[in-house]
A and B are shown apart, each in its own frame.
Chain A
C-alpha cells in the first residue's frame, strides 16, 4: 500500500483527489524550457561511450504488433542477448517486452540469460475492459513466466476524475503480479497536460508501481522531454518524501541514440545519479537499439557506420 508518509492521502477518493490537486502546478512553457536547456549538454568521447552502453543496458527491446509470431519473438530474444554479433563486448539489454501470449516463447528464448521478460497486460494498449479481464491478462503473463508486467491505467477514469478507481486497479494489478515488478503506463499523450502527468505519476507511485512509464507507443505524442522531466521530478520527490526509489520508463518515439543520451542527462540532473541504472530507468524501444549500436561502432572505429552493420530482427 501507500508508504506511511502518505497513508492519509489515499484513505478515500476525495482525499486522494485533494492531494493530487494540491501538488504544485507545472508551467508548461517553463518545463519545456528546462528540458530544452538540458538538451544542450554536449556529451563526448568517453562520456558518450559510457552513456551509449548504459542506454543499451536500459533498453526494453520491444515488439507489440498484431502480426507478432513466435518466430519474431525468438529473433528478438536472440538480439537481446547479443545485440551486436560482431562485437561480443556489447552489453545486453535489460528486457524484452511482448504481449502476454508470447511470454512462454520469450522465456524459452532468453533462458539462461539475465535479460528479463516483460509483458504488457491489462488489455494493452487501450485498457478498455473489465477489471476481471485485465487481471486475467496479468495472470496469463505472470504464469507464463514474465518477471515484469507493464500495465496501462484507465485513462477514461482518470480524465473523469475517478482517481480512486484508477488507484484501486493499480493496487489489484500489483497484487496479481506477485514477485514480478510492475510498470504503470500513464499514456501521457492522452493525459494531455503536464499537470495531469504529475498527478498520474504520483497516483501510480502511491498505488505501488515500481516504475512509471510514459506510453504504450501506440499513441502520439509518446515520450517527450517535458513529460519525462515531470516524471523524473515525481520519482525524485517521492524518494525524498518516502525514502523509496521508483523507476521511470520512457517509451514511444525514441529512435535516435542522441535522444537517448539526452534523456540520460535529464535523468542524472533531475532525478540523480542513482537512477542511471536499469533497475530504475528503462527505454522502451525497437529501432533505438540499432542506432545505439551504430553510434557505439562509430565511437569505437572513428568512422560513421551503416545499416548493413547492424542486424534486422
Chain B
C-alpha cells in the first residue's frame, strides 16, 4: 500500500508584495526617521533577510507622540463618533480586501503556518476593526452610570488622549488590531511599537490606514527593539500605556508608570492548565490539547501548556494524544498543509531548548513524534513531557514553545488547586461532559479566560485578559473599551 504524500501546496510568496526596505509611519507618512538605525527582519523558516526596516530612536518617538497629540487635539478628539466609526469600518474592509497579502506576509515574517494566518490572524484582525467601529458612535451606551461631563466634549465618555502601545511578535497583525481598534474607537490617537522580529504587517496596516485616508497622526507606527518600546511607554506626553509581552517587561513598565498619571493595561505571560476529566469527550479533548499548545507553535500567552489529566483516564488519553501528534505536519510555513511552523527567532529557540533540557534534567520523560526538521531556520518538534510535577521548572515557567507538560489529578478540588497554583492566571481549559462541573470549575479557576470543551477561541466581542501576574485590563468586548476611556476618578487633561 503506497503511502499518500500530499504534494507541496505552497502559497505564492509574491502575494506578500515584499519590499526591500520599510520606513516608519509618522504623521501619516512613511519616513526613514532620524535614520539613526535600521534592523533586518528575517524569515525564521529559512533565516533569509526579508527586508530592512527603519528603527525609531528617541527623536522619532518624540515626533510621533507630538503628531499623535496634535491629531488628538485638533482632529480625532473633536470628531463625532459616527465619523470615526466610518474610518475604522474602512480599515476593516481594506484588511479583508488585502487579506491574502497580509496572511502571506505574516507567515513570512513570523514563521506561523499560512493556514493559521489565513484562517485565524487576518480574519480576526478585520473583525476587531469591524467590532470597534461599531462602538465609536455608541460610547454613551457602553457603560451604565452617570457620565463624567465637562470640557465641552458632549455626553460621550471621554478618551484618554495619546496611547503608547507595545505589542509582541506572536500575533503581529492581530495584536496591532487589538490595540488600535478600541483605542481609536474611543477617540484616542496611537503610537504603536511592533515587535523587533515582526514589524512588517503593522507597517502594511499603516499603509491601509493611509488608504482609508485616516487623518495624519492618528496612528503612528515605530519599529524598533526594546529601547524604542521603553521610550514610547515612558514618554511624558503619553496618557495611556498598553503592553502585551512578557511578565518580566510588564513589571518594568508598571514600575515606570508608578507615580505618573499614565493609565496602564498589561497582557502578560501565562502557564495555563488544560484540565481533562474522565468523562471528557476524549477525541475533542485531544484536539483541544493539540490546539492549546501547538497552535502557533505554542507562542501563545494563553497556551494550554500544562495538561492536567484525571488519573483514571490518563493512559487512554495519552495514547490518543501521541497518535494524534503523529499526524501533525511540521515544515514550510507557506505550505497550506503545514500544521507547525517555525520558532520565531534564534533567541526564542534557545530559550525553549534551555527549558526542555531542564525538564529532562529534573526527571520528566520527554517524547516527540517522529519529525524531520528542515536544515535552515529555527525549528522545534512538538514535545510532550510526562511525569511532571508542580515543582518542575517546566511546570512553572512559561516556555512559549510547542512543549506540553503533563500532570495528573484525582478530584475536581485537586485540579482547581493545581491549576491555580501559579503566579500566572491568564487562561484555563476544562474538559468534561458535565455542565455543572464546568460551571463549578469556572467559578473557582483564577484565570481571566476559561474555555470549556474548547480552547484558543477568540472573538472581538469576548473580553480577554489575565489575573495575577498575567496582567490586568481586558481586550475585546464592552470591557475592552473601558481601558481607553476616562472615568471621574482619574480626570485627564
Point out residues on A near B: beta carbons under 8 Å.
Answer: 24-27, 29-31, 33-34, 40-48, 50-51, 54, 233, 264, 268-269, 273-274, 276-277
**Do the beta carbons of A50 and B284 come within 8 Å of each other?**
no
**Do the beta carbons of A51 and B4 come within 8 Å of each other?**
yes
**Do the beta carbons of B284 and A26 come within 8 Å of each other?**
yes
* Closest CB pairs A-B (n = 10): A30-B284, A42-B9, A42-B336, A47-B7, A27-B284, A27-B281, A24-B282, A25-B281, A25-B433, A45-B7
CB B318 to nearest CB in A, in angstroms, measures 14
Given contacts A27-B453, A42-B337, contact A50 B283 (CB under 8 A): no
Partner of A29, one of B115, B280, B454: B454
Interface residues on B, range: 20 to 34
**Do the beta carbons of A34 and B287 come within 8 Å of each other?**
yes
A residues less than 8 Å from B115 (CB atoms): 40
Interface CB pairs A-B, < 8 A, 18: A24-B281, A25-B279, A25-B433, A26-B281, A26-B283, A26-B284, A27-B433, A29-B454, A30-B288, A34-B287, A40-B115, A41-B337, A42-B9, A43-B6, A43-B7, A44-B8, A44-B9, A277-B1
B residues less than 8 Å from A51 (CB atoms): 4
**Do the beta carbons of B287 and A273 come within 8 Å of each other?**
no
**Do the beta carbons of B284 and A41 come within 8 Å of each other?**
no
CB A37 to nearest CB in B, in angstroms, measures 8
> Is B327 located at the chain interface by the 8 A CB criterion?
yes
A residues less than 8 Å from B453 (CB atoms): 27, 29-30
> Is B20 located at the chain interface by the 8 A CB criterion?
no
**Do the beta carbons of A24 and B327 come within 8 Å of each other?**
no
Partner of B3, one of A31, A40, A43, A273: A273
> Is B248 located at the chain interface by the 8 A CB criterion?
no
**Do the beta carbons of B284 and A47 come within 8 Å of each other?**
no
Bound CA span A46–B4, Å: 10
- Closest residue of chain B to A265, judged by CB? B6
Given contacts A29-B454, A41-B337, contact A48 B7 (CB under 8 A): yes
The winner among A24, A41, A50 for most chain B CB atoms within 10 A is: A24
- Closest residue of chain B to A273, judged by CB? B3
Extra 8 A-B pairs, beta carbons < 8 Å, given A47-B7, A48-B7, A277-B1: A24-B281, A25-B281, A26-B283, A29-B454, A30-B288, A30-B454, A33-B454, A41-B6
- Closest residue of chain B to A236, judged by CB? B323
> Is B14 located at the chain interface by the 8 A CB criterion?
no
Tell me the residues in window 1-36 of chain B with beta carbons closer than 8 Å to chain A beta carbons. Answer: 1-9
> Is B119 located at the chain interface by the 8 A CB criterion?
yes
Q: How many A-B residue pairs have CB under 8 A?
A: 69
Point out residues on B near A: beta carbons under 8 Å.
Answer: 1-9, 115, 119, 279-284, 287-288, 327, 336-337, 433, 453-454
A residues less than 8 Å from B6 (CB atoms): 41-43, 47
**Do the beta carbons of A50 and B337 come within 8 Å of each other?**
no
Bound CA span A114–B12, Å: 44
**Do the beta carbons of B336 and A40 come within 8 Å of each other?**
yes
B residues less than 8 Å from A50 (CB atoms): 2, 4
CB A23 to nearest CB in B, in angstroms, measures 9
The winner among A26, A34, A45, A46 for most chain B CB atoms within 10 A is: A34
Bound CA span A131–B308, Å: 49
A residues less than 8 Å from B433 (CB atoms): 25, 27
**Do the beta carbons of A273 and B4 come within 8 Å of each other?**
yes
A residues less than 8 Å from B9 (CB atoms): 42-44
A residues less than 8 Å from B7 (CB atoms): 43-48
Bound CA span A26–B6, Å: 29
B residues less than 8 Å from A27 (CB atoms): 281, 284, 433, 453
A residues less than 8 Å from B281 (CB atoms): 24-27, 30
CB A229 to nearest CB in B, in angstroms, measures 8
Partner of A276, one of B1, B283, B284, B287: B1
- Closest residue of chain A to B432, judged by CB? A25
Given contacts A29-B454, A40-B115, A41-B337, contact A233 B283 (CB under 8 A): yes
**Do the beta carbons of B287 and A33 come within 8 Å of each other?**
yes
Bound CA span A83–B288, Å: 43
**Do the beta carbons of A31 and B284 come within 8 Å of each other?**
yes
Bound CA span A34–B453, Å: 13
CB A198 to nearest CB in B, in angstroms, measures 9
CB B297 to nearest CB in A, in angstroms, measures 17
Bound CA span A25–B279, Å: 8
CB A223 to nearest CB in B, in angstroms, measures 19
